[in-house]
Amino acid sequence: MKLWGGRFTKETNRLVHNFNASLSFDQKFYNEDIQGSIAHVTMLGKQQIISFEESNEIIKGLNSILIDIENGTLELDETHEDIHSFVEATLIERIGNVGKKLHTGRSRNDQVALDMRMYIKNETLEIRACARTLQLTLLKIIKDNIDTIMPGFTHLQKAQPITLAHHLMSYFEMLKRDISRLDDCFTRMNVLPLGSGALAGTTFPLDREYVAELLDFDSVSLNSIDGVSDRDYLIELLSTLSTIMMHLSRFSEEIILWASNEWQFITIDDAYSTGSSIMPQKKNPDIAELVRGKVGRVYGALMSILTIMKGIPLAYNKDMQEDKELTFDAIDTVKGCLSLFNGMLDTMKFNKGNMYESAKRGFTNATDAADYLVLKGIPFRDAHSIVGELVLFCETKGISLDEMTLEEYKNINPIFEQDIFHAIMLETCVDRRNIIGAPARQAMQKVIDINERYLGL
């Protein structure tokens, strides 16, 4: 059944129907559509725009539709254009003429704007919950690894010794910002568009604040044209999701490197790895690779929605129907990636010995040797140059700084004393970086406390 057949003299071309229809994907929010209609019709009754009896009859009909969709007895029939048409037509089929009053003072334009916001609000909260679960897993690993020394990198070259806890806490901080961005998006999407009508509001005395209260919205939109045509919140959400995926892809890249034979910092659990059809020895980090790869879909969704919305004149245009599939796909992708990533991380083994050995090679303590000289009164720039000589010496001999003798140190500069060996121990290097944000145990513990409070633990 068409909601708009009156002024037409011909059936819609079959291909046109298929091209125009959105039921195959907007059926995702059947529940929101029905709850939105129930709130609308409750308000129509309260305002005496329709009678209480009519309102109640419609609500009963809508509830029966909801139950039957849920238990699988009511099939979503693809001859209907979209979920809104399907629900309204089914209602009229079930309760007769009174069902025709449901759409009083409403347009599909504000209806779809409402349904999508309701749906996306829930999804945003679900994504937030997934991100929080990942934070909890991270914090558990962090607390177990405050003293696990590993090399920190810049340019993917060994730089200075840090700890695994310190390294992983950087991802925790990224997730904090991601969650705060999700919360921001949520605040701005939490505005009720229903009552905007097609674009110019309605002649009926709707109580929009009441509907907002029923549907748990913070406020009502203040301009009906903007109400039906605003999709900013999707752009914001997809931008936030893109950032989450960017973070996960950086983490994935590290996991792939760490799991490689060259690094062997971690062992990915068998349940989270896959093998090769030809090479019997292979154990591949496919989950991390897929997460890294799926960033493309989410960035793609952001670019699509930005492009779709560009240059559309006010108010509603059918272009906007294109906002759905890509947003749903991006949301499912991010939820899936966050959950799988969490499982992979939670079951991963950290090879602490390999991390320590790696930190010992590559002169990660060279800055500390320079800081040692600074404490003896040598200006940092000169200290830098002296340690440069030490490194050169070690490289030609194929040894590390702690393998030099005191005599060799003194040959390069007589200011070196026995205490240089303590100063360049990896444990010392980490312990002495004790300002907030740095890897020393005490400084880390402070940040762990702050972040436990943040999580409400």
Binding site for ligand ARG (CB under 6 A): 22, 26, 82, 108-109, 112, 316, 318, 320-321
What's the closest the beta carbon of residue 336 comes to ligand ARG, in angstroms?
Answer: 24
Between residues 108 and 360, which has the closer beta carbon with respect to ligand ARG?
108
Residue 408's identity, in one-letter code, is E
Cis peptide before 315 (omega within 30 of 0): yes
User: Residue 220: in which H helix or E strand, if any?
Assistant: strand 219-220
Between residues 20 and 445, which has the closer beta carbon with respect to ligand ARG?
20
- Cα separation, 245 vs 329, in Å, equals 13
What's the closest the beta carbon of residue 211 comes to ligand ARG, in angstroms?
Answer: 19
Compute and round to an integer the Cα radius of gyration of the chain.
Answer: 31
Q: Are 45 and 51 in contact (CB under 8 A)?
A: yes
Active site residue 40: no
Between residues 112 and 220, which has the closer beta carbon with respect to ligand ARG?
112
- Cα separation, 437 vs 382, in Å, equals 28
C-alpha closest to that of 90 among 1, 167, 153, 156: 1
What's the closest the beta carbon of residue 37 comes to ligand ARG, in angstroms?
Answer: 14
3-class secondary structure, 306: helix
Environment class of residue 10 by beta-carbon count within 10 Å: exposed (0-12), middle (13-18) or buried (19+)?
exposed
Out of 24, 219, 276, 385, which one is annotated catalytic?
276
What's the closest the beta carbon of residue 157 comes to ligand ARG, in angstroms?
Answer: 51
* Lookup: tokens for 73: 């007895």
Residue, CB closest to ligand ARG: 321
Active site residue 167: no
What's the closest the beta carbon of residue 205 comes to ligand ARG, in angstroms?
Answer: 24
- Cα separation, 143 vs 261, in Å, equals 27
- Cα separation, 41 vs 39, in Å, equals 6
What's the closest the beta carbon of residue 299 comes to ligand ARG, in angstroms?
Answer: 23
What's the closest the beta carbon of residue 43 comes to ligand ARG, in angstroms?
Answer: 21
Between residues 116 and 214, which has the closer beta carbon with respect to ligand ARG?
116
- Cα separation, 90 vs 129, in Å, equals 35
Q: How close are the terminal C-alpha atoms of the chain, in Å?
A: 54
CA angle 327, 135, 184 (to 5 degrees): 45
DSSP letters along 110-129, please? HHHHHHHHHHHHHHHHHHHH
Between residues 51 and 79, which has the closer beta carbon with respect to ligand ARG?
79
- Cα separation, 328 vs 457, in Å, equals 32
- Cα separation, 119 vs 29, in Å, equals 6
Between residues 119 and 316, which has the closer beta carbon with respect to ligand ARG?
316
Between residues 21 and 443, which has the closer beta carbon with respect to ligand ARG?
21
Between residues 316 and 372, which has the closer beta carbon with respect to ligand ARG?
316
- Cα separation, 295 vs 314, in Å, equals 32
What's the closest the beta carbon of residue 300 comes to ligand ARG, in angstroms?
Answer: 20
Environment class of residue 64 by beta-carbon count within 10 Å: exposed (0-12), middle (13-18) or buried (19+)?
middle
Q: Are 49 and 104 in contact (CB under 8 A)?
A: yes
Catalytic positions, please?
Answer: 155, 276
